[in-house]
Amino acid sequence: MKSWLVVAAAIVAACALPLFLAPSGYPIRVIALALLFAALGQAWNIVGGLANQISLGHAAFFGLGAYTSTLLLINFGVSPWVGMLAGATVGGFAAYILSFPTMKLSGHYFALATLAFSEVLRVLASSWASVTGGPAGLSVPFAPDSLLMLQFKSTLPYYYIILVALIAVTGIFVWIRQSALGYRLRALRESVDAAEVIGVDTARAKVIAAVISAALTAALGVLYAQFTYFFDPDSVFGVISISIRIALITILGGVGTAIGPIVGAFVIIPLEELANVLLSSRTAGLSQLFFGILLIAIILVQPRGILVLIKSGVNRARRGKTS
Amino acid sequence: MAFVQAVLDGLMIGGVYAAISIGLTLVFGVMGIVNFAQAEFLMLGMFIAYFVWAYLGLDPLIGSIVAFVIIFALGIVIQRTLIQRVMRAPAVAQIFLTVGLLIVIENLALLAFGSSFRSVSTSYQTSSLRLGPLFIGVPYLAAFCMAVLSGFALWLFMDKSWYGQAMRATAQNPLAARLMGINVERMQQLAFGLGVGLTAFGGAIILPYFTVNPTVAEQFVILMFTAVVLGGLGNIAGAVVGGLTVGIIQSVSALVFPIQLQNFVLFLAFIGVLALRPHGLIGASR
């Protein structure tokens, strides 16, 4: 009961927050971006956290979503809301296809295969210029302040739409975690063989989780395209800018927990923006360098995330007081 | 004839891919870790050879030995200070440590060297040999010969020396190796140093016909992993076959497909092998 109160309070706070911010200012943009990446981390968490299948290729689905909806919009004037459905379908289908060759893979092999998959899509998006616009990227046709076309001049509506998306994806994650599928995924995380022996169809569980995760990631890719108005193959299919960032956010906050990606996103995204503002004007590469060092540091200090780190720190402090 | 020429070109570049990929497979074989940062050491090797050429006036083929020595030492330091700590950690920690390393090395290079492309000029750069109707570029041939030499040296080391045998023992069974009095940690340091050193060497020997900049590694990641997976992760002889195969696939597919789709063809081979023969085309199961 108490946890419901905390969640409700957090949602109310998130809804009220924009009242204190300029509706088109920089802070609200950063927070909206953090919310979007929290949702992406949550979607990654379904396979990365519950089944411990470490994907380094979620940019593949993110980019498929962005390209599917934007191409539908440019060529046929299809509303991005429909594009979101189409993008999610394409993303989910791609995950379904990819699951055939990667079904039996785990650990390093799975990470490699997913990484290669997203890289190939990036190369295809760059070289198939007649359809995708090639390396120059795509611009979303400007038709602002239309809910139907998911375009607004101010950042405020995006903030609320992305917030709803985050709540929805988090809800799906929590629901999967406590459903039979969640238990199956955790069983196969511990031991695929043991899970098979007790009658879990591990292949089926993996495919369902991968498809849901990919479809959600693709839908969020559509939101990203509408939010930024412009993207190119490197920005939506980027290994570091999308795939690794999503995974890092989840790992930093705590893999397999619902709060983890949210905490991670609200640490990483503002830190990155801060680093960009403070450093990038001087030299390229410095903010990425900081990102890499952070990744190595969190892995060496506490691979289970900062929440665990804080908790153990608090426990140590308490013990220190009582003894 | 175009086909034979393509196979020959593929073999020449494939020999270099083999040298590069041996480094990656050696690290996996001895430590059980896929080093996602491996291609960054290729970039470092290219830069070392470039600076040796620019400041000392030495040919990149000699610079490649300097590159090997420096990166070998750097590899041992990285293994001791960073990777050693996650040797017993879950796969996710190992994956993201080397991914973090990739990001750090690439961006340090960007800060230190800037993003411009650099290349060397040598006397033999544009010359080529004629074999009947076929041509071989001299820089390609020189790089191929250096790659073969390094492969032969590695084979001698692994097969004949005590360290090589101890390293292979560590790869087969770390616990048994430890019981036989082998310092497993030292062997892992040696393997990581050798592995990244060899890849840096492979980068240096292609410098006569390749430009270098801090993001050059991107072009090698997929082909390197494809070569290693084709041969079976951890299988050194396999990496040689895999490297040659990737070189030939790349060069022959360029006859049929536009150049941008080279990586796509490689990816199909990569995914196909992972799905059907995860232990490699030739290897016995590990």
C-beta atoms surrounding B88 within 10 Å: 8
Selected for mutation to probe chain A from B28, B95, B286 (highest A CB count within 10 Å) is: B95
Contact B51, B179 (CB under 8 A): no
- pLDDT greater than 80 at residue A136: yes
Tokens representing B147 are: 């790659």
pLDDT at B286 over 50: no
Mean pLDDT of A151-176: 91
Question: Which residues 6+ apart lie within 8 Å of B29 measured at CB?
Answer: B171, B191, B233, B234, B235, B236
**pLDDT for residue A108 is more than 90:** no
Mean pLDDT of chain B: 87
**pLDDT band of A149, cuts 50, 70, 90:** confident
Average pLDDT over residues A57-62: 94
Which residue, among B167, B285, B286, B280, has the nearest Cα to B228 in the 3D structure?
B280
Enumerate the H helices of A77-144 as residue ranges. 80-102, 107-127, 129-132
pLDDT in tens, B265-274: 888 888 888 7
- Enumerate residues 83 to 122 of chain A having a beta carbon within 8 A of any beta carbon in chain B: 100-109, 111-113, 115-117, 119-120
Angle between helices B236-256 and B2-31 (to 10 degrees): 150
Q: What is the mean predicted confidence (pLDDT) over A67-72?
A: 94
CB of A255 within 8 Å of a chain B CB? The answer is: yes
B110 reaches A (C-beta below 8 A): yes
Does B229 contact A244 at a Cβ distance shorter than 8 Å? no
Task: Report d(CA A84, CA B11) in Å as an integer.
Answer: 47
Q: Give CA separation, A276 vs A33, A259, A269, in Å.
A: 14, 26, 10
Residue A58 lies in a domain: yes
Q: Would residue B276 count as lying in a domain?
A: no
Indicate yes or no: CB of B93 within 8 angstroms of CB of A127: no
Q: Alpha-carbon distance B264 to B250, whole Å?
A: 10
A289 touches chain B (CB under 8 A): yes
pLDDT number for residue A86? 95
Instruction: Give the nearest partner residue to B95 out of A108, A127, A289, using CB atoms.
Output: A108
d(CA B21, CA A47): 30
* Residue A35, pLDDT above cutoff 90: yes
Whether A6 maps to a domain, the answer reads no
Buried b (16+ CB within 10 A) or exposed e, A136-167: ebbebeeeeeeeebbbbeebbbbbebbbebbb
pLDDT in tens, B25-81: 999 888 888 899 999 999 999 999 999 999 998 999 999 999 999 999 999 999 999
Question: Mapping DSSP to helix (H, G, I), strand (E, B) and coil, where does residue A101 land?
Answer: helix
Within 10 angstroms of residue B216's Cβ, the number of other Cβ atoms is 20
CA distance B137 to chain A (A): 28
Q: Which range marks the domain in which residue A91 is found?
A: 26-263
Copy the structure tokens of residue A55.
């994907």
Domain count within chain B: 1
Residues in chain B within 8 Å Cβ distance of A116: 222, 225-226, 267, 270-271
* Count of structural domains, chain A: 1
B:196-225 residues touching chain A, CB 8 A cutoff: 214, 221-222, 225
The pLDDT score that the predictor gives to residue A100 is 86
Q: What is the pLDDT of residue B285?
A: 44
What is the ipTM, given to two decimal places?
0.82
Nearest to A38 by CA among A181, A173, A128, A144: A173
* Residue B119 or residue A16, greater confidence: B119
Residue A270 is assigned to a structural domain of this protein: no
At A282, phi and psi to the nearest 5? Answer: -85, -55
Q: Could you tell me the maximum CA-CA distance found in chain A, to the nearest angstrom?
A: 71
Is A65 within the bounds of a domain?
yes
Segment A155-168 mean pLDDT:
91
Q: What are phi and psi of B123, to 5 degrees?
A: -65, -30
Beta bridge partners of A138: A231
Residue B229 has pLDDT above 90, yes or no: no
SS (H, E, C) B118-168: ECCCCCCCCCEEEECCEEEEHHHHHHHHHHHHHHHHHHHHHHHCHHHHHHH
Of A174, A163, A51, the closest CA to residue A114 belongs to: A51
Q: Is residue A281 predicted with pLDDT exceeding 70?
A: no
A20 — pLDDT class (breaks 50, 70, 90): confident
Q: Is residue B117 part of a domain?
A: yes
Q: The tokens of A278 are what?
A: 């403070």
B251 lies in some domain: no
| pLDDT, position A321 | 62
Domain boundaries, position B97: 13-216
Judged against a pLDDT cut of 80, whether residue B277 lies above it is answered with no
Structure tokens at B20: 């590069």
Average confidence (pLDDT) over A150-165: 88
A115: which 2 tokens? 């990484």
The pLDDT of A300-321, averaged and rounded, is 77
Q: Which residues have C-beta within 8 Å of that of residue A13, sequence separation ≥ 6?
A: none
Q: Judged by CB atoms within 8 Å, which residues 42-101 of B form the interface with A?
A: 82, 85-86, 89-97, 99-101
> What's the average model confidence in pLDDT over A21-26?
80
**A316 found inside a domain:** no
pLDDT (0 to 100) of residue A36:
95
Interface test with B, best of A112, A118, A126, A250 (most B CBs within 10 A): A112
pLDDT of residue B278: 67
Count of alpha carbons within 13 angstroms of residue B114, beta-carbon side: 3
